[in-house]
Amino acid sequence: MAGSILLAACGGGGDSPQDATAVANKAKRNPSTPATPTPATTTAPIGKIFYGVNGHFQQGSAYAASSPQTQLAQLQDLGMTIYRSDVSSKTAATALAQIATTMAAGGVTVYPVLLISPQEYANETASYNAGYALGQQVASAMHAPFYEVGNELEADTLAGNYDGTFPTDYVNSKFMIARGAIRGMVDGIKSVDTQGKIVMGAGTWLHWGFDQMLAQGTQPDGTAGHPVVSWDVTAWHWYNDYDDIQNICGGSGCYNVLSKLQAFGKPIWLTEYGVRPWTASDSQAGAYLTGNTMMGEYASVASKYNLQSIQMYELYDDPAGSYGLLQIDGKTKKAQYASVKAFIASHPK
C-alpha cells in the first residue's frame, strides 16, 4: 500500500498529555465500583451550536488573563455559540463548569474534550482504568451536555506513513490500548452522568479506519468479537494543508471524508478546523477560513451530511501557535476576526 501524509492537528490533545496521565495515575479506581451521581452543574438548555471555537482555559495564558465575561462578549460578537475546551483533571473540569455557567447564561454552550495519553500505559486494562478515572472525575465535576473522549488518539496507533483508511494501517497492540482508554472514558462518564452525549474523540486526515474498528468490534490483526464502542457524535479535524474535505487524495485513493463520516450514522462535528499560521498571513488566513473549502463549504453542505457544528481553532493565539482570531493579549483582533464575523452574520445557522 502506498504511503501517504501522516498528519496531526495542533489541537487540545497536543497541549499537555502529561497532565492527563498524572491525573489518571493518581486516581485509578475499580471500574466496577459505582460512583455517586452529583447534581448537574451545567443545566442551561442547548440552543444553536453550528458556529463555535476552541479555547484552552486550563492552559492559562490569554485564556486565564481574559475573564469568562470578556470571552463571552467576544463569542457573542462573532456569533459563535459553542466553545470547546480541554480538561485533564477534576480540578480543570470544576473550573470549566463555573465558566460554562457564565457562558450558558449568554447563549454559549461549553463542553470538555478529555485529554489522555493511552500509549503511556502497558495494556488495554491499564488504559481503560486510567480513562475510567478521568471520565468519572470530569463528569463528577461537570455535568456537561457533551463530552469529547480523547483528541486524535488514532494518530499514535498508525503503523507508519499510511492513510489510516484500512485496519492494517494500524498497530494492533497500540490500537487495543487506545480503545481501552476510550472505553474507559465513556464508562467513567456514564457512571456519573447518563444524560451527557459522547463525542467520539476526533480523528484527522483519512484515519476513519480507527473509528470503523471501534464501531465493529474488530482489530488490525483481522479478528472480530472485541468490545464495541458506541457514541453519539462523530468528530473530526481538518486544516488547510489537508485541502478539500469532500475531495482529498491520499496514497490509497481519493475520498469524500464527510461521506465516509456520515456512514457512521451519527451527526458530524468538526471540532477543530483552521489555517496553519506558517502557511498564510492573517488576511490570507481570513480569506481561506471563509472560503469555499472551509466555512463556505461547510455551511453549504451541512444539511446534506448532518454536519451539526464547526468549531474553529482557536479564539486566542497561544504559546503553541498563532491560530487565534485574536492575539495572545486576548484583546487585539486579527484580520481573521472580521472575516469570520462577517461570514457568520451573512450565513446564519
Q: Is residue 6 part of a domain?
A: no
- Assigned domain for 65 exists: yes
Q: Bridge partners of 236?
A: 203, 270
DSSP 67: -
**In whole angstroms, what is the distance from residue 208 CA to residue 63 CA?**
32
Q: What is the DSSP string of 162-192?
A: --S-SGGGB-HHHHHHHHHHHHHHHHHHHTT
Q: CA end-to-end span of the chain, whole Å?
A: 41
Rounded Cα distance between 202 and 244, Å, is 18
The answer to whether the CB of 203 falls within 8 A of the CB of 211 is yes
Query: Does 181 map to a domain?
Result: yes
Question: Where do we find the cell 465535576?
Answer: 141
Number of domains in the chain: 1
Confidence at residue 320, expressed as pLDDT on a 0 to 100 scale: 86
Residue 1 belongs to a domain: no
Pairing of strands 82-87, 109-114: parallel
**Using CA atoms, how far apart are residues 250 and 173, in angstroms rounded to an integer?**
25
pLDDT along the chain (349 residues), means of 10: 35 35 32 36 65 94 95 99 97 96 97 98 99 98 97 98 98 99 99 98 98 99 98 98 97 98 98 98 98 98 98 96 97 98 98
Structural domain of 278: 12-346
The C-alpha atoms of residue 227 and residue 222 are separated, in whole angstroms, by 14
β-sheet bridge partners, residue 312: 53, 273
The pLDDT of residue 9 is 37
- Are the C-beta atoms of 35 and 280 separated by less than 8 Å? no
pTM of the model: 0.89
> Is 341 within 8 Å of 304 (Cβ atoms)?
no
- Taking the CB of residue 159, how many other CB atoms lie within 10 A of it? 14
Q: Does residue 213 sit within a domain?
A: yes
pLDDT at position 311, please? 99
pLDDT at residue 238, rounded to an integer: 98
5 is a domain residue:
no
In the numeric block, the cell 488518539 is attached to 153
Q: Residue 28's domain is classified under what CATH number?
A: 3.20.20.80
**Residue 266 CB contacts under 8 Å (≥ 6 apart), including other chains:** 200, 231, 232, 233, 234, 306
Bridge pairing between strands 248-250 and 253-255: antiparallel
Residue whose C-alpha is closest to residue 81's, from 34, 117, 113, 44: 44
Three cell numbers written together for 175: 490500537
For the chain, how big is the Rg over CA atoms in Å?
Answer: 19
- CA distances for 288 relative to 164, 258, 292, angstroms: 26, 19, 8
Inside any domain, residue 84: yes
- Does residue 2 lie within any of the structural domains? no
